Each structure stands twice: as C-alpha cells, then as structure tokens.
Amino acid sequence: MRPPKTRPGDTIALVAPAGPVPPDLVEKALPVLRGWGVDVHVGECVRATSTGYLSASDEARAAEFTRAWLDPGVTCVLAARGGYGSQRMLDLLDWTALKAAGSKTFAGSSDVTALHRAVNVHLGLETLFSPMPATTLFDAVAAEHLRLSLFEPESVRLIASPTASPLVPGTATGTLTGGNLALLTSGLGGPEQGTGRDALVLLEDVTESPYRIDRMLTQLLRSGWLDGVRGFVLGSWKSCGDPEAVRALMFDRLGPLGVPIAWDFGVGHVPASPTIPLGARATLDADAGTLLTLP
C-alpha cells in the first residue's frame, strides 16, 4: 500500500531509532523541514544526551517511534540519522496497534533499513529510503528530492542517475526492496526477513572491506534470499576500498544470476542521494541508469 501524500499543514515526526543525534545538525535541518510548510515534532530521543552508541534505551526508542506512529496528526515518521540500533527495538513494537493506526510514511536509510523491512512486512506499506536530516549528507539536492517524494511523488517517478553504468545490461521490472547490505544480511532469520524473489534489490554500504562485502553477498546467496531476484540497483560504497575492486566483486558474486545490474547509482552515503520508494513496483534500465516507479 502506498501511503497518502504529505500536505502543507501536516506534521512530520522526527525520531532517533538508532544512534545519538548531533544537536547542531538537528538545528540546521529544522528550518529546512519547516520550510516545507509542515509542523515538525522532535522526539525525546532526538534531543537525548547520550555518550554511547545508542540515542537512548531500546524501550525509549521504541516508545518514541510508537508515539509518533499512533499520533493521528503525524503523516510522516522520519529518522533523524542512522548509526546502529534500529534492529534492537523491533521486538518491542506492537505491530498490530501500529497497523490499526492506519497508513503513513516512514523515511530514513542506512541502519534504518531494519525498520524499512519491518514496516514493509508487518504493515504492508511502501517506505522511503531517504537521506536523513541530522547528517552531513542532507544537502539541498537530497532534501529537495525527499520533499518531492513526500509531497509530489508523481514528479519523481523517474530517477535518472548521472553516475550509473551497466554492470550487467538490460531492463527488469520488480518490487523495490533492500537497502543497507549489512542490515539486510543481519536480518536473515528474523521475522522481517522477507525475500528478494521478483524484486529489484537496492544495495549500498559504507566503511566495509571488500572481503566483508563478499561475505555478506555470499550469505544472501547461500540463504536463498536472492533466488528469483529480477535486478540490482547498486548504490554507493563509500570508504569500502578501491571502487574498481568492489565493482569486480559485485560482478563476480551477482553477475552469474544473469539479471540486470546498475552500478554506482548514487544512492546511500553520498551527497545528492535520491529517495527510493521501497515496496513500490519499478522498472530498472541498467543501460540508461534509470529507475521508473510504476503507478
């Protein structure tokens, strides 16, 4: 199900389901978000002072997310940043109550991939794999694409990447899924595992060595999660070693599947990253470097 569009006067709830949020980046982002004509409710965990790698306790982060989702005035729940921790709170959420609250948009990326999988699977909703406000990558281009994805999704149905090239040429149509490779792999065996069958799988990561990327891809392959996949949208691999080595690795592990693969689509931990609607049906043209979301 595609959530309704965000409209002027709606409320966006900013939450911190993973790591601690830099206060200066929150303050820098708030005028941008409010400039969209919406109210912004900043969650308690976003403002929390933490010296660890979590913004707050699992219980507090789960409660913040739940309050935001159950608030009838909120139409979009937006993760302030990633880091680590989203997966830890999944079992503390009452998915039956969240589903009864109706559809709304969830957006974020990186570690938040765990919540994307959960919302897709438990609530049956499309979500937005998007740049996050309290990060250095929330630049003007990224922010505008997220705004359009929320308010005018029909205007960004076609995403054309200026950096993409075909690792394996061709076109394919499927349901967009995936996100951060490490989180997708660590979710195997959990209730949100899902499957890549009949899907266009988005993969990206940051600061992972090529051998670790190899290990995660091999795990996805051996688990059967990639059986029946339709194609791949490979995003950014910032600080993952020699880009050509990563490219060769992707061809070695994913090329034998014989499906279209777009390399370096510019999604993930890079400036000007576009927002990708996970759960939506789309057509990938690896040769043209385009992704077209279907109505």
Q: What is the pLDDT of residues 204-260, one digit of tens each?
A: 999 999 999 999 999 999 999 999 999 999 999 999 999 999 999 999 999 999 999
Could you say which of 109, 149, 269, 273 is catalytic?
269
Q: What is the pLDDT of residues 115-127, one digit of tens each?
A: 999 999 999 999 9
**Overall size of the chain counted in residues:** 295
What confidence score (pLDDT) does residue 276 get? 98
Calculate the alpha carbon distances from 139 to 154, 161, 273, 292 in Å.
22, 17, 9, 23
Give the span between the Cα atoms of 11 and 68, in whole angstroms: 10
Q: What are the start-end ranges of the H helices in the chain?
A: 23-34, 44-47, 58-70, 95-100, 113-118, 140-151, 181-186, 210-223, 243-254
- Please determine, for residue 188, whether its predicted confidence score (pLDDT) is greater than 90: yes
Could you say which of 204, 208, 236, 273 is catalytic?
204
User: Are the C-beta atoms of residues 257 and 231 closer than 8 Å to each other?
Assistant: no
Percent of the chain with pLDDT over 90: 98
- Please determine, for residue 51, whether its predicted confidence score (pLDDT) is greater than 90: no
Active site residue 204: yes
Average pLDDT, the chain: 97
DSSP β-bridge partners for residue 285:
171, 290
Active site residue 155: no
Could you say which of 110, 161, 236, 273 is catalytic?
110
What confidence score (pLDDT) does residue 216 get? 98
Segment 41-45 mean pLDDT:
98
User: Are the C-beta atoms of residues 253 and 124 closer than 8 Å to each other?
Assistant: no
- 190 pLDDT tier (thresholds 50, 70, 90): very high
Active site residue 149: no
